[in-house]
Amino acid sequence: MRKGFSTAAATLCLCLLLLLLSPASFAEFPAPQETVLETLPDFSGLDGSSAFVRYGEPDALGRCTAAVAVLGPELRQGEERADIANFRPTGLHNAAYSFVRDRWVYNRCHLIGRQLGGADEMNNLFTGTHALNHALMLPRENEIAAYIRKTGRHVFYRATPLYERDNLLCSAVLLEAQSVEDRGRGLQFCVLLPNSEPGVAIDYASGYTTRADDWESGGTSAGERAYIVNTRTGKFHLPDCTDAKSISKRNRKERRGCRGELIAEGFTPCGKCRP
């Protein structure tokens, strides 16, 4: 009996020890938060009498634009899941981190979630972080799905990716929703969801990422990648950096390597693209 107890206690201690020693603690970084906006969603001019989903055309840079819908019980999620792995929404330079759940920092996110009747098609997909997709968008989608299931009614919905300047990765997603038949009494929100991942520094211009603490400490990055080196100034850039594009041919050198390697060789990271 006593032996049995001690075995159990030893197992428990071992588990706790392993937990403490585990390098990837998910609770290490606080999750990003949604911002609830004071403004009410504006769906004036939209006919809410029957369900539909409308996707915006990509903009001049090929970026996914807003999708708008009247969601309802008659919209069914497609039976077949399309193979979206081949879709390349802008800014999708994926990288794996031990502390991100499922490892990969980016998901191909649906503007209109599949459970709400959104399709697996290019105009409905953008590059979003794992945290944005799972911790922020999913709870709001679940809230809408639950309302529709419970009432059998409709919901105006709009999802808008917000880009700064020519950035290929959106900084945030604006989600607006309003129940149709009861004019927002049953469900209404207007929220801003940041496209960020705890512990990861993101270059929104290109979508390249690095570990946030690596950026601060000047250590090695998550992996090897392409950089542009200015041999005159000793600075190195991400390939998409506007400063990298203006380097003269004579001083410009393409390099593959780890961030730490370049720093060890005496190069300094550009303050603009933060490679």
The site for Zn ion (CB under 5 A) is made up of: 237, 241, 243, 270, 272-273
Q: Closer CB to Zn ion, residue 154 or residue 235? A: 235
| CA–CA distances in Å: residue 184 to residues 114, 147, 149, 152 | 23, 12, 16, 15
Cβ 192 to Zn ion shortest distance, Å:
28
Q: Kindly tell me which of 175 and 228 has the beta carbon lying closer to Zn ion.
A: 228
For 144, 233, 238, 240, the CA distances from 251, given in Å and listed in that order, are 55, 9, 15, 17
Distances (CA, A) of 65 to 68, 94, 168: 10, 21, 12
**Rounded to the nearest whole angstrom, what is the least distance from the CB of residue 243 to Zn ion in the complex?**
4
56 or 239: whose CB is closer to Zn ion? 239
Question: CB of 215: closest distance to Zn ion in angstroms?
Answer: 13
| Cα–Cα separations (whole angstroms), residue 77 to 53, 72, 102, 152 | 12, 11, 24, 16
Q: How far is the CB of 169 from Zn ion (least distance, A)?
A: 16
| Nearest Cα to Cα of residue 177 among 143, 217, 132 | 143
Identify which of residues 53 and 244 has a Cβ nearer to Zn ion in the complex.
Answer: 244
Of 197, 156, 198, which Cα lies nearest the Cα of 176? 156
Nearer to Zn ion, 70 or 169 (CB): 169
In whole angstroms, the minimum distance from the beta carbon of 92 to Zn ion comes to: 20
